[in-house]
Amino acid sequence: MNLEGFTPRNRKLYEEFEKWLRGQGLRKKTIKNHLYFVRKFLEWLSKRRDDPELQTEGSIIIFLGTLPRNEEGEQPSRAPCLYALRQFYKFLISTGKMNSSADPTRYIKARKPKKLPVVLTREEVAKLLNAPSDPMDALMLRLLYVTGMRVGELCSLRWEDVNMEERTILVRGKGGKHRIVLFDEETAAMLNRWRLLCDSEFVFPGKKDHIRERTVQKKVKKYAKMAGIDKNVHPHTLRHSFGTHLLEEGADLRAIQELLGHSSVKTTELYTHVSREHLKKEYEKLFGGEK
């Protein structure tokens, strides 16, 4: 790890935070993201010869404003960075390095833009699912839609977690939270055919163990383009579409919450807004031309 430019104290804090963070039972990807942002923060402080315990809400906001911008000059959501800093200050407080009342991040809001997710119509889903000729890719797209699994959950799916008799899958979700999802007869038939061809413990094998998330993302985009879908489609789009289509068919919000593995029903309520937008568009097909 290159910590050049860090003050000796900030370097020591970073190394202690890394050890503390790895003992919190978080996912590797989450740990990596937290370390990235805290490294940037301590690097920024070191240039100013400053210490994290001396920061105020104002200085944290100034740091958040230094996050790199994209080619269009837009700054990404500061939520991941703010969450990482909160974990860092939680570490400082839990190890007795500062008092909880001095936490400069506690009143700062992420202010994430409330954008409705991209959702495919049923016709678009059908076109997307029919696009692959490769049996593994076809199964991959179908499972993303009919189960609502996250891409990481799909990639790490093992055959031992698939119950063909009951048509259920044990999903080992984020933070050790497991849930059961369902699949239909057509998906079961595809799973059975693929099982005869697959010699891995993982349903979707990769070069070392299982397929990578980035690979799935590329495949989804490729097949969306092949299907002629003019939307920004990614694996999570199929999850959003699954939740929205369930709601449109009258499924209970609590049931959708359980199937998607949302910790709060408030997250699931997003689909009521998506469904409302869909209804508006359908309504405007009939009355949109009125003056």
Q: Is 236 a catalytic residue?
A: yes
Sheet holding 168-172, edge to edge: 162-163, 168-172, 178-182
- Integer Rg of the chain from CA: 23
> Which homologous superfamily does the CATH classification assign to the domain defined by 122-287?
Intergrase catalytic core (1.10.443.10)
Distance CA 64, CA 76 (A): 10
Q: What is the pLDDT of residue 73?
A: 47
Catalytic residue among 78, 150, 210, 219: 150
Distance CA 94, CA 195 (A): 48
Look at residue 59 and tell me whether its pLDDT is greater than 80.
yes
- pLDDT tens digits, one per residue of 226-239: 999 999 999 999 99
Coil vs helix vs strand at 132: coil
Q: Is 145 a catalytic residue?
A: no
Catalytic residue among 11, 127, 167, 174: 174
Q: Is 34 a catalytic residue?
A: no
Of 289 and 100, which is predicted with more confidence?
A: 100
Look at residue 144 and tell me whether its pLDDT is greater than 60.
yes
Domain boundaries, the chain: 8-102, 122-287
Distance CA 25, CA 48 (A): 33
Architecture of domain 8-102: Orthogonal Bundle (1.10)
Distance CA 193, CA 164 (A): 12
Query: Cα–chain-centroid distance for residue 70?
Result: 20
Question: For the residues 107-121, what does the mean pLDDT come to?
Answer: 74
Look at residue 184 and tell me whether its pLDDT is greater than 50.
yes
Catalytic residue among 221, 222, 236, 278: 236
pTM exceeding 0.75: no
Distance CA 184, CA 146 (A): 8
Domains 8-102 and 122-287 share a fold: no
Instruction: Provide the mean pLDDT of the chain.
Output: 86
Q: What is the pLDDT of residue 166?
A: 93
Q: Is 210 a catalytic residue?
A: no
Token pair, residue 102, equals: 């001095």
Q: Is 49 a catalytic residue?
A: no
